Amino acid sequence: MNGRTDPAGPARLRRRRRAVSDLGDALRALVELATATEAPADDLERATESVRAAAALLGGRVRDRSSLPSTDDLLDGVRMYNPVTGSGSALAPPLHIEQAGDLTIGTCTLGLAFEGPPSYAHGGMSALLLDQLLGYAVSASGHPGMTVRLDTSYRAPVPLQTPLRLTARVTAIDGRRVTASGAIATAAEPDTVLVAATGTFVALSADQARRLFGAVWDSGSRAG
């Protein structure tokens, strides 16, 4: 059941979304502390028991890959567990995105959990952030599509625990193919590009959309 069919309606959905975001905040803090901690082994063992108890609470009712989360709404663009932007995701920094004309701007700070080289972000994380931001720019241009190619150029390491500013814009639309380019910089030095990326996104044909997402879409419609 989702917010469209739930008899208690919007209030229940709002409460559930708030709870999902609060849990996301707590999980992100936990993941960061679990990475940063130098606590003694006794404390690690006690924390492990508490985390296992919390997991047992959450495991009572779960979905599988063929169903959408009950908090999400694809038509309104609500994806609470997106691993880059989702407020409910333990994995997401999260990246906050806003649109200013044709420029897409993202902000986030990466903690120690995203460390690759000591004190800097893992390169795969930079690619993940840019894939999401470029994809958002492509969607915002009215031509949503899936990434088919992402070229990433690492010019300088991305510092952890430092506010970041990411930008992206669509540079070409060619039939079903859309190209977007973007960059990561620090908020303090927004003109110094640390990582640049160009992505190609392809709008799905009706057949491709049915083949890839038909089962999820059908289960969403059945749920309302």
Ligand X SMILES: CCCCCCCCCCCCCCCC(=O)SCCNC(=O)CCNC(=O)[C@H](O)C(C)(C)COP(=O)(O)OP(=O)(O)OC[C@H]1O[C@@H](n2cnc3c(N)ncnc32)[C@H](O)[C@@H]1OP(=O)(O)O
Chain residues in the site for ligand X (CB under 6 A): 77, 99, 131-132, 135-136, 139-140, 146-149, 175-177, 200, 202, 204-205, 208
Please list, in sequence order, all residues whose beta carbon lies within 8 angstroms of the beta carbon of residue 108, skipping any fewer than 6 positions away.
Answer: 93, 94, 95, 96, 129, 163, 164, 166
Instruction: With beta carbons less than 8 A apart as the criterion, state whether 124 and 133 touch.
Output: no
- Beta carbons of 80 and 86 less than 8 angstroms apart: yes
DSSP state of 159: B
Minimum distance from residue 144 beta carbon to ligand X (Å): 7
Residue 125 C-beta: closest distance to ligand X, Å: 14
| Cβ-based neighbours of 147, under 8 Å, separated by 6 or more | 131, 134, 135, 199, 200, 201
The smaller minimum CB distance to ligand X, of residues 29 and 148, is found at 148
E strand residue ranges, 155-192 = 164-174, 177-186
C-beta closer to ligand X: residue 149 or 155? 149
CB of 91 to ligand X, least distance (A): 14
CB of 143 to ligand X, least distance (A): 11
Tell me how far, at minimum, the Cβ of 98 lies from ligand X, in Å. Answer: 10
Nearer to ligand X, 20 or 95 (CB): 95
Q: Which SS3 state, helix, strand or coil, does residue 192 take?
A: coil
Q: Is 70 or 104 the residue whose CB approaches ligand X more closely?
A: 104
Nearer to ligand X (CB atom), residue 97 or residue 160: 97
> Which tokens in the block code for residue 43?
């404390």
Tell me whether strands 164-174 and 177-186 are parallel, antiparallel or unpaired.
antiparallel
Q: Which residue is nearest to ligand X (CB)?
A: 135
Closest contact distance (angstroms) between CB of 76 and ligand X is 9
End-to-end CA distance of the chain: 7
- DSSP character at residue 3: T
Q: Pick between residue 120 and residue 127 the one whose CB is nearest to ligand X.
A: 127
